[in-house]
Structure 1
Amino acid sequence: MSAPHDKDFESIEEHEHEHHIVSPKIYLTIVAILLVMTATTVGVSYLDMGLFNPIVALAIAAFKMVLVVLFFMHVKYSTKLTKLTVGAGVFTFLVLVGMTLSDYMTRAWGRW
């Protein structure tokens, strides 16, 4: 049996601990987009779209959440395992929201 070489472990450790450096220009762009989307949320709240008001507000919030997770939490530049973990969390959240909405939609409102 041959013992593993130290050189192999060093290359693995260097690769695992490699950090991606994000320029301030990207951060400022993302912050500007988040501010514009916040203003858009406020503007949309004054429009009467009936049933679609909360849908549009949640869509804008989901878009802003994706930007924050990808860039400020550095998931975009992370390993596949981190991306899988975030994806599993999002999937679990969507299942819970779906179950809650299915309960909400099947209630007999006003029939009791």
Structure 2
Amino acid sequence: MTRSETFTFVAVYLALLVLLAATTAASFVDLGVWNAVVNLGIAALKAGLVAWFFMELRRAAALVRLAAVAGLFWLVLLFGLGFADFLTRTRFPS
């Protein structure tokens, strides 16, 4: 491993620690409905960093990148369908 790769991995690790601290800090701040948006954004950023650097998608072949994007698309599709089902249900008073 070269010196620049080591520096990159350490920088990404420190960025992940900062994002962890941001997630923890966001849990103590009342942002109303924006809490979920902020925390999901931070989680997506952390997942992107892990996939890009530690899973080495930046150096992967095009087919491997395509498989990663297809998996992400499938996840978004399933969450979207679940959310659409949730929004279209009628609520009966108890």
Same fold (TM over 0.5): yes
Compute the displacement of 1:107 (Å).
1.8
Q: Name stretches of at least 5 consecutive residues in structure 2 with no aligned partner.
A: none
Q: Per the alignment, do residues 48 and 104 of structure 1 end up closer, same or farther by CA in structure 2, a change over 3 Å counting?
A: same
User: Which residue number corresponds to residue 23 of structure 2?
Assistant: 41
1:15-94 superposed matches below 5 A: 23-94=5-76
**1:107 paired to 2:57:** no
For residues 16 and 74 of structure 2, the distance between their equivalents in structure 1, rounded to whole angstroms, comes to 25
For residues 88 and 23 of structure 2, the distance between their equivalents in structure 1, rounded to whole angstroms, comes to 29
Larger Cα-atom Rg? 1
Q: Name stretches of at least 5 consecutive residues in structure 1 with no aligned partner.
A: 1-20
For residues 56 and 63 of structure 1, the distance between their equivalents in structure 2, rounded to whole angstroms, comes to 11
Number of aligned positions between the proteins: 93
Query: Runs (4+) of structure 1 moved beyond 3 Å?
Result: none
For residues 100 and 53 of structure 1, the distance between their equivalents in structure 2, rounded to whole angstroms, comes to 20
Question: Higher helix proportion, which one?
Answer: 2
Compute the displacement of 1:55 (Å).
1.2
For residues 32 and 91 of structure 2, the distance between their equivalents in structure 1, rounded to whole angstroms, comes to 19
TM-score (norm 1): 0.77
Q: CA RMSD in A?
A: 1.7
Compute the displacement of 1:110 (Å).
4.3
For residues 59 and 43 of structure 1, the distance between their equivalents in structure 2, rounded to whole angstroms, comes to 14
**1:98 paired to 2:80:** yes
RCO greater where, 1 or 2, for CA within 8 Å and sep 6 or more? 2
